[in-house]
Chain A
Amino acid sequence: MPQATQAELPSREAVDAALDQVYDPELDAPVTRLGFIDEVQIAGGHVTVRYTVPTFWCAPNFVYLMSYDIRSELSRVPGVSAVTVLVHNNCAATEINAGVNAGKSFDETFPDETDGGGLEDLRHTFTTKGFLARQDVLLRRLRQAGVRDEQSLALRLDDLLVLGEDLFVPIVPGEAPLRLPLAAADLEKYLHKRRKLGLSQTPADLLFTTIEGQPLHTLDLADYMRRSRSARLNIAFNTSLCEGLLRAQYRPEQAHRQDSLGDSLLTHAI
């Protein structure tokens, strides 16, 4: 086996960037920003990640997904030859740590406790919730900026322009587009969910559709948006609760904090 040279060893920056791609599927936020990661050790090409979930009773399927995704993302980092992921504070930690690090699927990790269908349906359910939440944020930001709903619903993917952190939306032909400050991230988060759902991404596609790709102007928009808003509330509420539970038990230096990643999801487009 050839000796790894210095250049081939994984950098801390590359490892951290890979971890930023791992989301808590239920909270729709990166595990790094949720504060779950306890320790990252890089020894040659072997990366070990230790992390803590907020409660002992966090659903094992979500915990498995996070451990699995950490392993997958890190395995793709140049120079990484082995990955060990160890979760702490969960009723199924022993099984998950053994299963994920041995490269076993969820059904293999819990042989008598699943129906054999894997976790893709579960992922899809929560991608859908995240899609509705992110779409609602974007729609309401357009509304706040003075764009009428029928104008928003007619927008196509290639109508929008991103410049730095701002979003530009053409409203009246021949006039300067409307500027939405700091809304580029909202668009990106929404498009990310569209991609995860496998929705068509050609430039002429409508920006706003249902999860099935149906145009929203055919629906009762007030009812649809009330439901999307409930999905947003649920994610934000659980995010605040989970961050708080983690801090109260395992991050005493942060136990006084009341802020949450859920804050912006709940309040920045009302």
Chain B
Amino acid sequence: MYRTATGDDIFVLDGHTHLWDASPENQVNENGRGWIDCFYGYHKLFTPAERVWPIEHYEKYSVDDMTRDLFVDGYVDMCILQTTNLYDFYHTGFNPIERNALLKQAHPERVILNGSFDPRHGETGKLGLNALRRAKAEWDIQGVKLYTAEWHGDSKGWKLTDPAAKHFLAECEKLGITNIHVHKGPTIWPLNKDSFDVSDIDEVATEFQGLNFIVEHCGLPRIEDFCYIATQERNVYAGLAVVMPFARTRPRFFAEAMANLLYWLGPDKLLFSSDYAIWEPKWVIDAFMGSEMPEDLKAEFNVDLTLDVKTKILGLNAARLYGVDVSKKISQLRALPVTIGQHEMAEDRARFASA
């Protein structure tokens, strides 16, 4: 819970987190090195100097580290663990569902575990249809995270509009996996077109009305194209990773992005995400809660960043998508102190007792 200066408690559901292993032992090739180095650049760029992790820790952290950073220090009541598989870059994958499940097992009431699919894996591949069905059966997943720029053999990516991808989306609809998180990345065939193009989301959002499409980092680096698509589609949402850290160091950039997102999508379709461990939720949330909408943007876009809007973004919107009854969940978690390893956190127990 985040407690405001005036004593209001805000439920926090972090919409995009990872438990990854990018250690040198797990790297297959220079792409595995390049991937984590790029992430580390994002980490260093926005993180307050005193909170920057050493690269060794950033490459691989434990369930206990994550528990502390999210549930003890980071105001986070619940998190969604998203998959990023990258089997061509990391021997056991970067953060596939199997690794993420370790946090789910440690904190079943606080963690929403998402699955994944890759249309190039067919029926029987690691990320194929059978694996999707198994993940539903074993974990009752309600969402998947897709990375359309994943390298797979000779392929440098895929589109949501590929016939095979639509086949998987239809299967998701059938299985009741309704939340499709899309991470748009570069290098999609054909390489001579804009590789961050977001227009494939438009088509599938229209076609699959039973699914919600949550576009991570708001379609950046194509936020304006994303906004026009999202405004036409009832079932398209924005994950706010990458945008939110700007609130700390570049407040004007943050405000301008939020003005656009609030204008085109509205306050009910924006989801807080720290993208942990790219960034820690504590300082991201502190910066977000301290942010304000400048008068000129209020006037032009007719939007504001009120406490009500911030509350929706920090937790209520994601809770609605995942069927979490927030007041029930708050009572349940109050009676369930966070444990790290086998040791109960005394200060956390005290925090909940006083709440």
Contacts and interface: CB of A to CB of B under 8 A. Distances in A.
Interface of A: 26, 54-61, 91-92, 106-107, 110, 113-115, 117-119, 121-122, 125, 129, 226-227, 229-231, 233-234, 236-238, 240-241, 244-245, 247-249, 255, 258, 260, 262, 266-267, 270
B101 interface: no
A119 B300 contact: no
Contact of A57 (B185, B228, B296): B185
Nearest to B47: A248
Nearest to A117: B192
B253 A57 contact: no
Interface in B42-62: 42, 44-46
Nearest to B260: A230
A57 B186 contact: yes
Contacts of A229: 260, 300
A52 B196 CA distance: 21
A82 to B, nearest CB: 27
A114 B192 contact: yes
9 contacts: A110-B192, A115-B192, A234-B223, A238-B220, A238-B221, A244-B46, A247-B45, A248-B41, A258-B249
Contacts of B40: 249
Contacts of A91: 31, 34, 187
A266 B250 CA distance: 11
Interface of B: 31, 34-35, 37-38, 40-42, 44-46, 149, 156, 185-187, 189-196, 220-224, 227-228, 242, 246, 249-250, 252-253, 256-257, 260, 263, 296, 300-301
Given A59-B195, A266-B256, 12 more contacts: A57-B149, A61-B195, A107-B192, A110-B192, A125-B194, A227-B228, A229-B260, A234-B220, A240-B246, A245-B38, A249-B40, A267-B252
A233 B224 contact: yes
Given A57-B186, A59-B186, A227 B37 contact: no
Most A C-beta atoms less than 10 A away, residue of B41, B46, B195: B41
A121 B193 contact: yes
A61 B41 contact: no
A237 B257 contact: yes
B41 A249 contact: yes
Contact of B223 (A122, A230, A266): A230
A245 B193 contact: no
A241 B249 CA distance: 12
Contacts of A121: 192-193
A177 to B, nearest CB: 27
A226 B190 CA distance: 31
Contacts of B156: 113
Given A57-B186, A231-B224, A237-B223, A226 B263 contact: yes
A233 B256 contact: yes
Given A237-B220, A237-B253, A255-B44, A106 B192 contact: yes
Nearest to A57: B186
Nearest to B254: A237
Contact of B34 (A57, A122, A267): A57
A100 B9 CA distance: 58
Contacts of A258: 249-250
A113 B191 contact: yes
Contacts of A266: 252-253, 256
A8 to B, nearest CB: 37
Contacts of B246: 237, 240
Contact of B222 (A54, A122, A234): A234
Contacts of A255: 44
A230 B191 contact: no
A266 B45 CA distance: 20
Given A237-B257, A267-B252, A245 B42 contact: yes
A56 B41 CA distance: 10
Highest count of chain B CB atoms <10 Å: which of A118, A234, A240: A234
Contacts of B46: 244
A230 B329 CA distance: 38
B187 A233 contact: no
B37 A56 contact: yes
A118 B192 contact: yes
A244 B45 contact: yes
A52 to B, nearest CB: 12
A236 B223 CA distance: 11
B224 A26 contact: no
A233 B263 CA distance: 14
A260 B222 CA distance: 19
Nearest to A105: B192
A35 to B, nearest CB: 14
A229 B62 CA distance: 43
A106 B195 CA distance: 14
Contacts of B38: 55-57, 245
B265 to A, nearest CB: 12
A55 B149 CA distance: 15
